[in-house]
Amino acid sequence: MPSLHMSGQKIDRNAPCWCGSGKKYKNCHEEFDEKLRAYALKGFYVPDRSLIKTEGRSKGSGRAL
Chain residues binding Zn ion by CB under 5 A are: 17, 19, 21, 28-29
Contact (CB, 8 A) for 19 and 29: yes
Residue 28 or 36: the one with the smaller Cβ distance to Zn ion is 28
Residue 3 or 61: the one with the smaller Cβ distance to Zn ion is 3
Residue 55 or 65: the one with the smaller Cβ distance to Zn ion is 55
Min dist. Cβ of residue 25 to Zn ion (A): 7
**Four-residue CA torsion sign, 59, 5, 45, 40:** negative
